[in-house]
Structure 1
């Protein structure tokens, strides 16, 4: 006679697995239902309708509903005897996972921001706009204000004054006044969003795409036709190598300018034209008088400086210090000298 069988539904919700529908002999233990699950017996227990069942109980002891739920036991610290709770370790793990990690910046958004916003204030680029000698873009007004109040960040310490700013001309994109990308190349129509390489001509300040200057071979600007040299091309928001080359060029130009000023100052001091006033005064003292004596001061006379074809006496009479009047004041009119009425 064949042994009696039972249909059992084994629910595995704690393992995130679908339920299993089994038909087994009634005299087999419940652990037979779990032989396909690689779980130690101490890590789970079985319940049916809220009642716990030991794994050694026979299948026949299940209620008629024959629905069995597998439950995982909560993890305990140490050997399970209560001597070690591992509370500190759990707290460390909770702190690690609950701590908010900083969001990674989207490189595409960062690139777009460098081409559409001022590198200092973060405001949208608008005329008048300028570029520094490293290819960064700014709105001129906040940059000048920061220079006047000495509020430039350390990263922009290479900007020392207006001479380090290059006025640029951005070509507006038609119908894009309210869009984020509002400028484009006037020749190719490429949007000024960082996806294409752009450069500024230092002589005229027009901003063009690199492809436009490659395709159109001309010694002049494609907008204003002003001639430029290869050294006048300055990349905008270039790569690290391009920025390093621009920085080296900036330092070289400043060094040459400093040497030129020092040479001009040295040449000026060696000649009498730019000599110090004190040195000229000492020379005049030695020529006009004896050594160690100051030359007598020459008295100013208005008649000696009269214009051509002018009467020296009349010209000198204009100045009160040159006209010694012999008139005396009268009792009746002190302000009107006698003989002038």
Structure 2
């Protein structure tokens, strides 16, 4: 069973040493991150979306992941931070004119150039194959190379003209340091949105709890009108008092109590300064008095009985 017939075993065949660390092929890693969906592991196809951490997904894969409410759903580390479709941004990508597609390498008899990417930067022209750092704007979804954003500094998107800030720039497939920075920004952004929603709910609840002014309750304008009417009525009363006292021959100043005794009521028929035509208007005049024989036996709404 071995060691016979002149076989000479070596040391590494008899003694087991420490395992060698397997090195990951950098080209294969770049292809997996830039050409395949991080959720479904399928080839990226439009529409392509990116999360707030800079990972690339197929939009239909994200929708299927969000719609799957089954209890035996396998947790995905690459999509655990995606809670709704609002957490991803659809990317506005520019096609590479030098990319021929997958038609040439279907049979496997031709060389597949992995350095040739499907999309490029619209400003500098660099290919989006993982060799260069690329970013996208969270407001509009336009994708540029980091070199283009550094060389051509502007506060407006180079492609669509939408304004953006430094916090809106998200690095695609960044390193660990970039992912940590983006994660902090994402948490701060979500906390801020929650606080804004709570404040809006508190304002709406306070507005709903306040009683609405009813039609019967007098408002400020009605209160003012009531004061004006009271002042006007008091002025009329004062004017009436003044006229009555002046008729008796004791003029009094409005607002001051008159010392003269109160005047007795007199009928208009006894007044001498009134004409007979004026006196005939009232029921106290002799022409308005009729005997019972002259009165009819039917009753009207405003009948007078003397």
Q: TM-score, normalised by structure 2?
A: 0.55
Instruction: Give the 3 Å change call, closer, same or farther, for CA 74–108 of structure 1 in structure 2.
Output: closer
1:159 to 68, 82, 87: 82
Instruction: State the distance in 1 between where 2:166 and 2:175 align.
Output: 18
Displacement, 1:73? 7.5
Instruction: Give the 3 Å change call, closer, same or farther, for CA 219–266 of structure 1 in structure 2.
Output: closer
1:172 to 95, 107, 110: 95
Q: What aligned pairs does 1:260-275 form with structure 2 within 5 A after superposition?
A: 260-272=196-208
Query: Contact between 2:39 and 2:78, CA under 8 Å: does it hold in 1?
Result: no
Instruction: State the distance in 1 between where 2:44 and 2:7 align.
Output: 61
Q: For 1:61-102, what per-residue CA distance to the aligned partner results, in whole angstroms no more than 9, with x for missing partners?
A: xxxxxxxxxx85778xxxxxxxxxxxxxx9x959x69xx999
2:160 to 210, 216, 224: 224
Structure with the bigger RCO (C-alpha within 8 Å, sep 6+) is: 2
Q: Corresponding residue for 1:52?
A: none
SS class of match (1:267): helix
- After TM superposition, the runs of 4+ consecutive aligned structure 1 residues lying more than 3 A away are 71-75, 100-104
The answer on 1:117 being equivalent to 2:53 is no
2:51 to 132, 144, 163: 132
Greater share of residues in strand: 1
Instruction: Give the 3 Å change call, closer, same or farther, for CA 215–93 of structure 1 in structure 2.
Output: same
Query: Contact between 1:268 and 1:274, CA under 8 Å: does it hold in 2?
Result: no
Instruction: State the distance in 1 between where 2:208 and 2:154 align.
Output: 49
Q: For 1:103-123, what per-residue CA distance to the aligned partner results, in whole angstroms no more than 9, with x for missing partners?
A: 643123112321111111122
- What is the number of equivalent residue pairs in this alignment? 191
Instruction: State the distance in 1 between where 2:173 and 2:7 align.
Output: 59
Instruction: State the distance in 2 between where 1:244 and 1:274 align.
Output: 46
SS class of match (2:90): strand
Displacement, 1:154? 3.5
SS class of match (1:138): strand
SS class of match (1:200): strand
Instruction: State the distance in 2 between where 1:204 and 1:243 align.
Output: 21
Unaligned runs of 5+ in 2: 103-113, 215-306
1:242 to 162, 167, 178: 178
Q: Choose 114-123 or 262-271, whichever is displaced more.
A: 262-271
Q: Choose 205-214 or 105-114, whichever is displaced more.
A: 105-114
Displacement, 1:185? 0.9
Unaligned runs of 5+ in 1: 1-70, 76-89, 285-341
Q: Corresponding residue for 1:254?
A: 190
**How big is the alpha-carbon RMSD for the aligned residues of Structure 1 and Structure 2?**
3.4
SS class of match (2:208): coil
Instruction: Give the 3 Å change call, closer, same or farther, for CA 154–112 of structure 1 in structure 2.
Output: closer
SS class of match (1:113): helix
Instruction: State the distance in 2 between where 1:105 and 1:164 align.
Output: 31
Instruction: State the distance in 1 between where 2:118 and 2:128 align.
Output: 7
Q: What aligned pairs does 1:1-341 form with structure 2 within 5 A after superposition?
A: 104-150=23-69, 151=73, 153-179=76-102, 181-272=117-208
Query: Contact between 2:44 and 2:57, CA under 8 Å: does it hold in 1?
Result: yes
Instruction: Give the 3 Å change call, closer, same or farther, for CA 109–161 of structure 1 in structure 2.
Output: same
Q: TM-score, normalised by structure 1?
A: 0.49
Instruction: State the distance in 2 between where 1:142 and 1:221 align.
Output: 28
Instruction: State the distance in 2 between where 1:230 and 1:130 align.
Output: 20
Q: Choose 206-215 or 131-140, whichever is displaced more.
A: 206-215
Query: Contact between 1:202 and 1:232, CA under 8 Å: does it hold in 2?
Result: yes
Instruction: State the distance in 1 between where 2:210 and 2:195 align.
Output: 19
